[in-house]
Structure 1
């Protein structure tokens, strides 16, 4: 069980760090959005590349912070039975949901996206707009990074569930009381 706990801790530490780094892009997103609005409506100025920075930043935040969001249980959950469930029942629900829904969805996203990203890399694709940003292939690669980050966090959730089902209820995915070894316990929250 120590190996499972170590894997959970490592994955959660990694997604915690990625999420915290990516969160700084929110400042760029707000600044860029305000700048685009002021330039456009105040001075009748606009550049395609500046508008694309807004779109790209939003996409990067969404895609690369999704593992972090799953770590902190920030995704939508239909909480009919889950809230009042015991730790072992929650572990069963999380394990089943991860295996039956999350992993198949991520596999589908990878399967559909990989050729799309590969083609973009083979062409070193840039913006279709004149004056747009080069390197669109890098942005499209974030789709695959999304699959990896969310997949890793899904694996951590599955391993947590196994730990709880084996009797280590301190690893219960109760996101308000993180176990001592977890990333959330060491993040100062």
Structure 2
């Protein structure tokens, strides 16, 4: 096939199905944007005491029992506008960049999911190590001698330690995640083994064991499994029941993947977010707001962060499902890595011919 014929084929396909790419890109963008906006508005509602969009709708209903004050009404409208502006901005980005392919956007969201997981990884590593050190010094009486009695007492309060120790470490983790682009799951698995080994060593050799040592193992172990889900999906490493799937051709596989993420994957993630963060007393919001810790006063103060692992899991999976949707639709449209369709792509060969047009 000549280059002229391939260009004509691509142009013909674009004219017949040109709406598919922007519509799917907007849909994927909306999936990610809605998840981010939901979490941001959850913060405004339950951490900053804003009324929330649902309270605004209830106020607009004549049967509302608790009408909002003027200030609350303004804040409620602001939250609603945030949703609208965010979704419009995403749609505008897609319409302003018609040259971007489905696979390009798929890679964008996949990279974003990887960034979320990297940031979470560095958070649990640094928080686990620093919190263990603080707990050890408290137990052994070193903390007061090093930081003073007043600060030592404050570090024994969950709210203080979470706000002034954990949260700054989270910010550092998000910065590190932007520069260190390797996912450290191998290293996290090694850290889990080392944390367990030091318990065995200290217990049976030195007859020494404290609550924070077991808490550290559980903290890292839970992170390893929940954070690795999106990473495994990126590399298509989840276990499949291949009795039927392995026999499908690439188009049927794409439809099966789209159906699975639409009917099973995305609903599950949204169930986790909505049921866990719908009110202050919900299963995720309540521990996060109260900085919940274990019953052992000298263990790690990270139980509330372990509840937050569910948020990281749901968000990273939603973002990766959006990427998965785009890549599978690209497979249906036979879009190659360069964004062309019908298998027409530009390949860089190692021969003297330079750039040549290849046809499937």
Structure 2 match to 1:103: 266
Shift in Å, 1:14:
3.3
Q: 1:124 and 1:134 mapped to 2: Cα distance?
A: 8
Alignment of 1:76-87 (within 5 A): 76-87=239-250
Q: 1:95 and 1:154 mapped to 2: Cα distance?
A: 9
Q: 2:217 and 2:184 mapped to 1: Cα distance?
A: 14
Structure 2 match to 1:144: 311
Alignment of 1:1-189 (within 5 A): 1=21, 2-16=100-114, 18=117, 20-23=182-185, 24-114=187-277, 115-168=282-335
TM-score where L is the length of structure 1: 0.82
Give 3-state SS (helix, strand or coil) of 2:257's partner: helix
Choose between structure 1 and 2 for higher RCO, CA contacts under 8 A separated by at least 6 residues. 1
Structure 1 residues 97-143: Cα deviation after superposition (integer angstroms, max 9, x where no partner): 11111111111222232222211122121222231111322221111
Q: Could you list the runs of 4 or more consecutive aligned residues of structure 1 that deviate by over 6 angstroms after TM superposition?
A: none
Give 3-state SS (helix, strand or coil) of 2:190's partner: helix
Shift in Å, 1:40:
1.6
Structure 1 match to 2:62: none
Q: 1:75 and 1:110 mapped to 2: Cα distance?
A: 22
Structure 1 match to 2:74: none
Q: 1:71 and 1:57 mapped to 2: Cα distance?
A: 21
Contact kept, 8 Å, 2:294 with 2:301, in 1: the verdict is yes
Q: Once superposed, what is the RMSD of the aligned Cα atoms?
A: 2.1
Greater CA deviation, 137-146 or 15-24?
A: 15-24
Structure 1 residues 27-63: Cα deviation after superposition (integer angstroms, max 9, x where no partner): 2111101111111222322111011000000111111
Shift in Å, 1:170:
5.6
Whose Rg is larger? 2
Structure 1 match to 2:63: none
TM-score where L is the length of structure 2: 0.45
Shift in Å, 1:84:
2.5
Alpha carbons of structure 1 residues 85 and 169: separation in structure 2 relative to 1, 3 Å: farther
Contact kept, 8 Å, 2:219 with 2:302, in 1: the verdict is no
